[in-house]
Structure 1
Amino acid sequence: MNVWTPGADAARRPVMVYIHGGAYATGSGSHPLYDGSRLAAEEDVVVVTLNHRLNAFGYAYLARLVPGFEDSGNLGQLDLILALRWVRDNIAAFGGDPDRIMLFGQSGGGAKIATLMAMPAAEGLFHCAATMSGQQVTASGPINATTRAVTWLKALGLTPDRAAEAATLPVERLLEAQAVQDPILGFGGLYFGPVLDFRALPRHPFYPDAASSGLKTPMIIGNTREETLGFMGDDPKNQDLTWDTLPGRLTPSVMRIDVAPEVVVDAYRRMHPDWSPDQVLIAATTAGRSWRGAVIEAEERAKAGAPAWVYQLDFPGVMASGRKGAFHTADIPLVFGTVASPESRVNGPGAETVSAAMRKAFAALARDGDPNHPGLPRWDRYELPQRQTLLFDVEPRMANDPRGDERAFFAAIPYIQPGT
């Protein structure tokens, strides 16, 4: 755990606890972009980053195979709860206010926060939250989670009744065994993530509705406009596409939803006849695969009357290939104020302006339960049918239902997150 504070005194400052991304498989709270020194000093808050168990160590579900592993499918989440208890009990010694604790996280970090909002043991440990390109609508069911665990054990040379022996094997071997093809998805390595075990996690986070335990928690929900540019933009196979080759890049394994590629291409050519095939690829995968969870979370909270402020990052960064866009992870250095870091790909003219606006909004939520501050237009809560959204750019502005045509198109297609 890392703590940055303006002073170890009795000031009782708001506390901002960051949960790192990397899905549920990789990552660390000590990445240079998560340096909390500037955020703490300029916004007068206490910043905390942390680590927790990941991949099979944190989420391999062995509860239905051998006794003694009842909580194994959610150990990573339970680590976070233990860390939050430590923050609650000790942060006053670092000048923090245990009654004003905010969680914020990007990608997998945001998904972990959404999951915590449905876990009874996490209730009362934080008072507001922000998910940045990280939404978790559902969780892996116990049957699929068990199938994945059995597949992992087989790769280790163990039968299900010998699952406990995995704890005696070298770490390297445990990690290598996760490279086997996922038996549920049919592609990629094994997925390990939160499990609907009816114990630590008694229900899905946002399906069929928002968990009641999190409805009183003020929440920022955000995404970036060209989200999947961060995953796909530097791959030569995703550049210089034609209308004939584009459908081959929009397969269900890429889209992560079951829809015919030709249907998607036809819809986008009708909605945006001036867009190129390259633009359609990034827009469609963003709207159907990444942004979709954010829409569901925002709308379920709106239906329940729960406070939520939604943003879309429009300010662009630059990929290694030179392609520009507001890609996945672009909001991290903006919120932390680490745009000058060598690790940041968001550092062009205007980056400091956008960073200041985002830093102050997140700190305002931590401080007052409302992200509005003088550097922004009035940021209204997300409500239906307006779908108010703040577009973060050099000149931030409010918009109702941005990309509404894309949202409506994908709303008609069943959405089940990978891993569930």
Structure 2
Amino acid sequence: MRVFATRTGVVSGRPAARDPDVVVVRGIPYAAPPFGANRFMAPRPPTPWDGVRDCAAFGPVAPQSAQLPGAPVWSPGDEDVLSLNIWSPVGDDPLPVLVWIHGGAYVFGSSAQPDFDGTVLAGHGVVVVTLNYRLGFEGFGRVPPPTGDGEPCPDNRGLLDQIAALRWVRDNIAAFGGDTERVTVAGQSSGATSAACLAAMDEARGLFHRVILHSAVNACATPGSAALTTAEVAAAAGVPATYDGLLSASPQALVDASDRVADGYRRDSGSGQRHYDPAIYGPVAGVPSLPLDPLTACAEGGARGLGLMVCHTSEEYWLLDAVGSCARVDDEEQLAVFAADFRLPDTLLDGYRALRPGAPVRDIYLAVCGDMLFGEYSSRLADAHAEAGGRVHLSRFVRRCGGLGERVRAWHCADIPFAFGNVEDEYLHFLIGGPPGPADRRLAARMTRAWAAFAATGDPGWAPVGTSGGRTHVWDTTPESSGRTWDAFRAPWRAGLPLLAP
């Protein structure tokens, strides 16, 4: 057991089960429980404690309905949900820090998922931090101001939680061997977009120096669309869409109501864009905390001083299809309705048909969705950052299991067990297609080393976009794949089509 002194009290950690040279400290509160008087408010400082706090277990997860393999579930009544975990290599020299923000469509997930065990990454000389933050309505719902002189409820409370965690890292991570001048924020999916938002937020300035974005999702809300979602959720919960009405609904009631609203879109084929991926929450752009969405902010140079490493997978949307969380499109008539709902021109669909000759309609639909929401969006973030004078390294994960078109594709989330070096974990075998082989282990080692190198120096091992030799790096188990043209999917988007037309 080792003890560490933080500004709010002393905590104890234990050697990691997989590497005795790494100490893991779990469930450290970085902010007060966001309920009671703190509900719908910006995060408050944690309450100090006396003695040594035993940090052997992960903290409670944020309110949600998800039950993820190998991860804890939320229990109504759990309130101390704003906690973080640290994997610290044993040693004396200050080491780079990587702060991980989990994904989950802003409504599910936690830092306790087996994907995000930081032991292997820490073994490469990085202090790894993972954190929980408010999700769903608690974290991203737009709350009307209270009547009278009450304090207004800020938008983007989940992002404000992440900033509070980064401030905790700034103030305390040196005690765990971390270098406060080399902090990298990393995330995947909604966690990646969260990190991209942080790069655009004034409140986060100076708290980190580099950003890793895997499969950033194009899913910001406007103040108007967020207010409409609030009205829908309040109606589903049976309460007025007012501060007092929403406050009267329990966290469980708002989770259930949010699920009903999302399910309604999923079942209604005439409900437009949300029918295909009913993610009803996202960061609200155009408000004081987040004046610009990440893509616009990057294009205007808002993150120019930060080094970026951007990655996406080649078949993102196939995972959502495999788990039944997106609408089915199986014939030309359904594909035409989908294209009309997103205002996609025939030329785009024709371009994808040319890229995938003879592919069934369903594959065309999944390819377009995956690139519209993840692949092309991530690539445009990289382009915008580079064109504004920033340094960005772009990569694409293409590894499949079982050969072309077999059981597991290079789909959403499949890259993360490789980057964290957790491919052996049986809970993750669904994502990667079973137990890893030697080539998979070598791929995981390369990806983990790249993350560690980027956190340490800003150079993952290949040239940045816009420089001599700069190109999209390819992650695969076969070295010859690096010579393929994996960026052909971008050709149909070259006309500058909007990714999500209103």
**TM-score, normalized by length of structure 1?**
0.85
Report what 2:422 is aligned to: 338
Conserved? CA contact 2:183–2:209, under 8 Å: yes
> Could you say which residue in structure 1 is the equivalent of 2:250?
170
CA drift of 1:88 comes to 0.9
Checking the alignment, whether the CA contact within 8 Å between 1:255 and 1:289 is kept in structure 2 is no
**Percent identity among equivalent residues?**
29
What does residue 122 of structure 1 align with? 204
- Are positions 1:16 and 2:98 aligned together? yes
Q: Which residue of 2 aligns with 1:412?
A: 495
1-structure distance, mates of 2:119, 2:89: 8
Do 2:108 and 2:135's aligned partners in 1 also have CA atoms closer than 8 Å?
yes
Question: 2: CA distance between counterparts of 1:237 and 1:195?
Answer: 23
Q: Match of 1:47? A: 128
Write the letter of the residue equivalent to 2:335: L
Q: CA deviation at 1:153?
A: 1.9
Partner deviation per Cα, 1:281-339 (whole Å, 9 max, x = no partner): 443332333212112101111211211111011112479x9623111101110011100
Q: Which residue number corresponds to residue 37 of structure 2?
A: none
Report what 2:440 is aligned to: 351
- The residue that corresponds to 2:56 in the other structure is none
Q: Please state how far the C-alpha of 1:53 moved relative to its aligned partner.
A: 0.2
Q: CA deviation at 1:125?
A: 0.7
CA–CA separation in structure 2 for the residues paired with 1:230 and 1:202? 32
Q: Does 1:75 align with 2:75?
A: no
How far did 1:147 drift?
1.7
Change (3 A) 1:308 1:19: same
Q: Name the counterpart of 1:309.
A: 393
**Number of matched pairs:** 402
Listed one character per residue, the Cα deviations across residues 108-145 of structure 1 (whole Å, up to 9, x for unaligned) are: 11010011111100111111111111244x73111221
Of 192, 201, 213, the match for 2:302: 213
Alignment of 1:122-141 (within 5 A): 122-136=204-218, 139-141=220-222
Q: Give SS of 1:415's match.
A: coil
* SS of residue matched to 1:3: strand
Higher RCO (Cα < 8 Å, 6 or more apart): 1
Structure 1 counterpart of 2:166, from 62, 80, 84: 84
Decide which of 103, 109, 115 is 1:27's aligned counterpart: 109
Q: Is the 8 A contact 1:74 1:195 kept in 2?
A: yes
- Choose which of 451, 476, 479 in structure 2 pairs with 1:393: 476
Q: Is the 8 A contact 1:257 1:414 kept in 2?
A: no
Note the C-alpha offset of 1:219.
0.7
- Classify 1:368/1:284 alpha carbon distance in 2 versus 1 (closer, same or farther; 3 Å): same
- With over 3 angstroms needed to count, the CA separation of the structure-2 counterparts of 1:268 and 1:142, relative to structure 1, is closer
Cα RMSD for the two superposed structures: 3.2
CA contact (8 A) 1:84 1:125 kept: yes
- Go from structure 1 to structure 2 and tell me whether the alpha carbon gap of 1:250 and 1:235 turns closer, same or farther (over 3 Å shift): farther
* Per-residue deviation, 1:387: 6.9
Partner Cα distance (2:468, 2:321) in 1: 32
Q: 1:231 to 1:220 in 2, by over 3 A?
A: same
Task: Tell me the equivalent position of 2:410.
Answer: 326
Does the 8 Å contact 2:136/2:281 carry over to 1?
yes
| 1:34/1:256 CA distance change after superposition, 3 Å | farther
Equivalent pair of 2:96/2:126 in contact (CA under 8 Å)? yes
Q: What residue ranges of structure 2 are gaps of 5+ in the alignment?
A: 1-83, 266-270
Q: Contact 2:295–2:381 at 8 Å: present in 1 too? A: yes
User: Cα–Cα, structure 1 residues 86 and 237, in superposed 2: closer, same or farther, change >3 Å?
Assistant: closer
Where do residues 221-370 of structure 1 align in structure 2 (5 Å cutoff)?
A: 221-233=310-322, 245-248=330-333, 250=335, 257-259=342-344, 264-273=348-357, 275-277=359-361, 279-317=363-401, 323-345=407-429, 346=432, 347-349=435-437, 350-370=439-459
Q: Distance in 2 between matches of 1:265 and 1:46?
A: 45
Q: Aligned with 1:73: secondary structure?
A: coil
TM-score (norm: length of structure 2)? 0.72
- Equivalent residue of 2:396, what SS? strand
Give the SS at the match of 2:156.
Answer: helix
How many angstroms does 1:76 deviate by? 0.2
Structure 1 portions without partners, runs of 5+: 373-378
